[in-house]
Chains A and B, each alone.
Chain A
Amino acid sequence: MNAFAQHFAYEFKTGLRNPSLLLINYLFPLGFYAMMGLIMTAINPLFTASMVPALVIFAIIASTVLGMPSPLVEAREAGVFRSYKINGVPAASILAIPGLTTGFHALISGAIIALTAPVLFGGDAPVHVGAFVGITLLTAFTCASMGMLISVISDDSRATILWSQLLFLPSMLIGGLMVPLDALPERVLSFSALLPASHAMELFTGWAYGRPTVFNLPASAAMLASSGVLALVLSIVLFNWDTRNQSRRGHPLLALLVIVPYAVGALLAI
């Protein structure tokens, strides 16, 4: 097996072997899915319409934004990156391979949700399966890139939690996962337009289910993709081998550039 395959195999196994990652990759999103399927559908029967995409996005954000950054920061703090460096492991592999494997775990959770929700809880299955898969992959890519960026700019695990929650909590509250975007007040909608989750949800709603949407879908797809690419590029630029993360090539606040595509979209009211 070549180095990439060895690295990928190890990182994938870590996602199952590490109790914290197993929890965040599978137990948390699937547990939340079961709870929402049992309780939310009873409280709000309309939730079945958006249940599948909402919980797939939830699973992706949980794995990539909540789960992935902390182990990367802890590895850097423990000197693992230094060991990697002296043995010729490229910086791109250190970031990209955990991103890929985490995305893979998220896709497995998402697939379990998408395949079982219509049967177990009466959740609406997507009308356009190809679009559903494509949007899932795009969302996983963007969120994994953002998870990488959080790990790169965080000096320690506490900072990681703050940055992760800054993205996770608004996504849950105003990202269209629990409350439809068209039910949000106009001012709140402006803020939700800054979140990747909102645009992912809109893409699912419009292209995978063929329902009316609030945002312009091609613009949402472009914003989601461009912010993912921007986050990936910034992760590589700001990456640092140093255990104390003190010799970056740029200021960590450069990471806020990932909001630019969404801000431009919001300003142009698309």
Chain B
Amino acid sequence: MQETVLSVTDLRKVYGDLVAVDGVSFSVCRGEILGLLGPNGAGKTTILECLEGIRQADGGTLNVLGVDPGREARKLRNLIGVQLQSSGLPATMTVREAMRFFCAYHGVAPRYDLVQRLGLAEKGDAQYQELSTGQQRRLALALAMAHLPPLIFLDEPTAGLDVGSRAELHVLMQELRAEGTTLIMATHDMAEAEKMTDRVAILLRGRIVATGSPTDLTATGEAYTKVSVRSEQSLLFECEVSFPAVSQRFLNQEYVIYYSTDPGPTVSAILGYLDEKKDPLIDLRVERPSLEERFLELTSPGGAQ
């Protein structure tokens, strides 16, 4: 059984009249990458900040590596790495100074190798105010990882990063996971969540409306699977037969495209039809709905009631 490093039970956080987080519960195992997804204001950052000990929860039980972040935040400092969504460094602090400074407070040697890996080697003597937004985020990431914490929180880690830096960060994240580091990231990037996370929790108005692996989530729900078929004689173009579970049919150049709620019976019936008509199959593609489509379905008005 995998070791649970973080558990949240019935977390609640209120700002004035606004209930930002309303009864959220989840747990994360060692070496897992959990993605928190949700529209702006869904409560992602608030949840992360409560777990990081930056904000006090108004209710619920939090356990981060055996520590209650609300009561013993100081104990957490060397156990977690945090890249905040909105945080800054002193304007005149250079990249190398920042690495020395924060590593000194964590009691570890500076990790200049991370500065190099994240493409900041040439900016070592540049002041924070001279860095681009993407470079500032890369530095924040390097600082979050520098003291080798077993648990890292990333808030929109790739926002503002170029393609190369994003790819390098993904490689770094996979390496960290392979070493047993647990990562929790809030993101708007569905493709990234689908590619990088083991599990996602989709939040809406402070509640979790769906949780599971990206594969499991995209396999459920009302979103349609796209089935594209091309055959030698193109008999499907004039076919009047209605195949099971198909809701819509389109023609696109040499392909007939079906949107199916249950692709298994649909594909089976199409193949049976082509076989019966002796029309050899040239190409058949089945595309599951993306995480983004599932996300939009869940977070659209009335979608997650």
Contact = CB atoms under 8 A, between A and B. Distances in A.
Given A10-B93, A14-B92, A17-B92, A87 B102 contact: yes
A10 B78 contact: no
A83 B78 contact: no
A93 to B, nearest CB: 9
Interface in A1-45: 1-3, 5-7, 10, 13-14, 17-18
Contacts of A13: 92
Contacts of B97: 10
B178 interface: no
A86 B105 contact: no
Contacts of B106: 87-88
Contacts of A159: none
A259 B158 CA distance: 50
B101 A7 contact: yes
Given A14-B92, A87-B77, A88-B74, A82 B84 contact: yes
Interface centre among B80, B100, B104 (most CB of A within 10 A): B104
Interface stretch (A72-80, A108-116, A143-151, A208-216): A72-80
A2 B105 CA distance: 8
Interface size class of chain B, counting residues whose CB lies under 8 Å from the partner chain: 20 to 34
A3 B104 CA distance: 5
A158 interface: no
Contacts of B84: 79, 82-83, 86
Contacts of A7: 101, 104-105
Nearest to A85: B54
Contacts of B60: none
A6 B101 contact: yes
Given A3-B104, A6-B101, A86 B93 contact: no
Nearest to B147: A87
A83 B87 contact: yes
Interface of B: 52, 54, 74, 77-78, 80, 82, 84, 86-93, 97, 100-102, 104-107, 127, 140, 143
16 contacts: A3-B104, A3-B107, A5-B104, A14-B92, A14-B93, A78-B91, A79-B84, A79-B87, A80-B87, A80-B90, A83-B87, A86-B52, A86-B84, A87-B105, A88-B77, A241-B54
Interface of A: 1-3, 5-7, 10, 13-14, 17-18, 75, 78-80, 82-83, 85-89, 241, 243
